[in-house]
Amino acid sequence: MSIKAKYYGANGWLIEFKNIRILIDPWLIGDLTFPPGDWLIKGELNKDIYIPNNINYLLLTQGQPDHAHRPTLNKIDKTIPVIASEAAGKVVTEMGFNKVNILKPGDHFKNGSLDIQATQGASVPNIENGYIIEHNLDSIYIEPHGFLDKRLEPRTIDLLITPVLDFSLPIAGKFIKGKSILPRLLKLFNPSTVLSSTTGGDITFSGIINNLIKVEGSVEDIKLFKDSNTNYINPVPLEEYEINRNK
């Protein structure tokens, strides 16, 4: 068995099992803005990205615009089933998606051999989701801010999708804890493969907040944490990776 993964930059992924394609947190067209306006922070894709066909599920971790990106969601078939956090569920329901499954941390969505469990993620400001995705013998853990649910028990995960850098703002502190959480994730899940996430892509940011962000760590730091059995990939956007179990 194997998993195919394609990174779109920022928080966006396309995950493919044998017969299931899951689009995660897509920002594929248009700008990214947060209230109250562009002066605060703005993201611009240097080139729009083709929205993939034949999507079986749309999976949203958060309701924030960089996860539930309205211009992209407007272009997606509203009949595609959505699995979402409470905040993201409100966004897609308002936009007219008609098969919305809202999961709170600890809840499961199951359909045949697919099992998606919501885990407790970042508080921005409400508690959002990470997910453990299982299909037959394959498994994925994804959480875009480096916040780990303390209730999770040790287990083996094939693919870990996580940030590997820490991002912080004055007074507010760290809002992405990739470097800080990585050793705990590796110990908890003993993954075959790690794909770095959240900070990549052909994107230009501007605005006051962007100028205040402090970054700690580098993608090279993972070499200090991973064991010899873990394959680390800093993904090239739009390149497809096939993940095979090696444990």
pLDDT band at 176 (very low <50, low <70, confident <90, very high): confident
Q: In the prediction, which pLDDT does 48 show?
A: 94
Q: In the prediction, which pLDDT does 42 show?
A: 87
- With a cut of 80, say whether residue 210 has pLDDT above it: no
Residue closest to 185 by CA, chosen among 199, 196, 200, 174: 196
- Pick the residue with more confidence: 91 or 213? 91
Q: What integer is the mean pLDDT of 211-239?
A: 75
- With a cut of 80, say whether residue 247 has pLDDT above it: no
The pLDDT tens digits of the residues spanning 34-76 come to 887 787 788 899 999 999 999 999 999 999 999 999 999 999 9
C-alpha span between 236 and 2 (Å, rounded): 19
pLDDT band at 1 (very low <50, low <70, confident <90, very high): low
The pLDDT tens digits of the residues spanning 16-35 come to 998 899 999 999 999 998 88
CB within 8 A of 92, min separation 6: which ones?
58, 60, 68, 73, 82, 84, 100
Q: In the prediction, which pLDDT does 200 show?
A: 82
Amino acid identity, residue 6? K
Q: What integer is the mean pLDDT of 86-92?
A: 98
φ, ψ at 201 (rounded to 5°): 110, 165
Are the CB atoms for 56 and 22 separated by under 8 Å? yes
C-alpha span between 195 and 235 (Å, rounded): 7
Q: In the prediction, which pLDDT does 21 show?
A: 98
- With a cut of 60, say whether residue 9 has pLDDT above it: yes
Q: What integer is the mean pLDDT of 134-155?
A: 96
Alpha carbon distances (Å) from 67 to 14, 71, 168, 229, 236: 14, 11, 19, 31, 20
Q: In the prediction, which pLDDT does 198 show?
A: 86
- With a cut of 90, say whether residue 224 has pLDDT above it: no
φ, ψ at 240 (rounded to 5°): -90, 135
Q: In the prediction, which pLDDT does 2 show?
A: 86
Query: Which domains are assigned to the chain?
Result: 2-244 (3.60.15.10)
